[in-house]
Chain A
Amino acid sequence: MKKQILGLAAAVAVAAMAAVPASAHRQWMMPSSTVLSGDDVWVTVDAAVSNDLFYFEHQPLRLDAVKAWAPDGTEVAIENKATGRYRSTFDVHLLQKGTYRIASVADMLMGSYDLNGKTERLPRGTTAANLAERIPAGATNVKTAEANNRNEIFVTVGEPTTTLFKPTGKGIELVPVTHPNDLFAGEAATFQFLLDGKPAVGLPVTVIPGGIRYRDQLGQMDLKTGADGKVEVTWPEPGMYWVNVTTPQAGGEESGPQPVARRASYVTTLEVLAP
């Protein structure tokens, strides 16, 4: 498919950003456990979009795109789904040993077209699959840019496995150097991030410990991926951490039209245990 970089009016760029979760509100999934033992166990996941981590006080995360995969790669059911006013919740039955992935992935297209002398924005929810039907007859000058958002968590029964970390090559993905279900306070963990399957160089990585409501300082760590896409995090204390990696976003400093490039965002929630 032919991709073109967009040049959109600033107002349109701001509107488009609303679809990207990396802005003011933070989206997250919170599993009941990340390290499990036993033969027949479940995990319950809360999912929301909020300011404070990890309190459901703004919007539920829509569950339409949430899927789960067992360690052997087979998809497993999302059970007991419910979406309330402030949060969604669901269960995953963990019958295999190893690491499960639970993810909400959105691969979208942003863009515009000209019709009757006016530039129109592609509606939200446009994908490569439905692009043709979303563009009205007679539209010209169609421009698109990809936006990939991935929000995923990992839970492990027994020994951590890495079978599920085979990159899809789309958007930002995590490759474990340290396994995300083997994290302890005071230890350094290293993760590699890929952008479209290649090391994501120089991307900002935001790490925020949960429990924001009951402290004065956010405690945010602003990190950056290195030349190999890797980033090292030393966990100051045990707890749940929110990790967000995004493609750099155009600053609001310059006036006039801002180029909207291909965008990608990654969110995960990591549990760090006490040593």
Chain B
Amino acid sequence: MQRNPRPFLIGGSLGAVLTAPAMAAAAAPTTMDVTVTIPQLKVAEYHRPYVAIWVEKAGAPAKTVAVWYDHDMKENEGTKWLREVRQWWRASGRSMKFPASGITGATRAPGAQKISFSRAQLGATAPGEYTLVIEASREVGGRELLRIPFTWPAKAGAGGRAAGKTELGAVTVAFR
């Protein structure tokens, strides 16, 4: 996407500038809200999935923003299966230490799980195109990966969605 050359034009819509230019500037989003739906599965043996969320930008190293795993097992044993989230493991996980403050947390139950990231957390300080990647891997289950492109500066409101078929339900992104 082309960056708008006029700095006061946030969100890039000409209509928005004509109707409420001051408001558009004031309402520059600072936060990304992500809803990750973990599907309810009818299986004999169910374990909550490991989920990793990271940000990719061409030419920059991937930045992990959230990892839900068995973070509280004795002797850090839950880390043994982190490599099963294999694309994330390659892109970012294998160079991290666990637990990672502000990034890692417990696995989450089926349902709509909400998590928010600041622009700094996303590593989206430079304007440009980014991709939010969500990968889930479940013990004795499968694996699925979804990608949601976004740009920064972002426009307030809905900012993208993707829907999984097996290990992930709908994932939506909104900016505020």
Contacts and interface: CB of A to CB of B under 8 A. Distances in A.
Contacts of B30: none
B contact patch SS: helix
B89 interface: yes
Classify chain B: how many residues form its interface, as a range: 10 to 19
Contacts, number: 36
Interface stretch (A34-42, A103-111, A189-197, A242-250): A34-42
B79 interface: yes
B79 A182 contact: no
A39 B81 CA distance: 11
A6 B37 CA distance: 70
B167 to A, nearest CB: 14
Interface string B88-112: 0110011100000000000000000
B89 A39 contact: no
A38 B82 contact: yes
A37 B75 contact: no
A39 B90 contact: no
A37 B93 contact: yes
Contact of B94 (A37, A40, A274, A275): A37
B80 A159 contact: no
Contacts of B89: 35, 37
A96 to B, nearest CB: 14
A38 B77 contact: yes
B86 interface: yes
CB-CB nearest 4 A-B residue pairs:
A38-B80, A37-B83, A37-B82, A38-B79
10 contacts: A36-B80, A37-B81, A37-B89, A38-B82, A39-B79, A40-B77, A158-B95, A159-B94, A160-B94, A274-B86
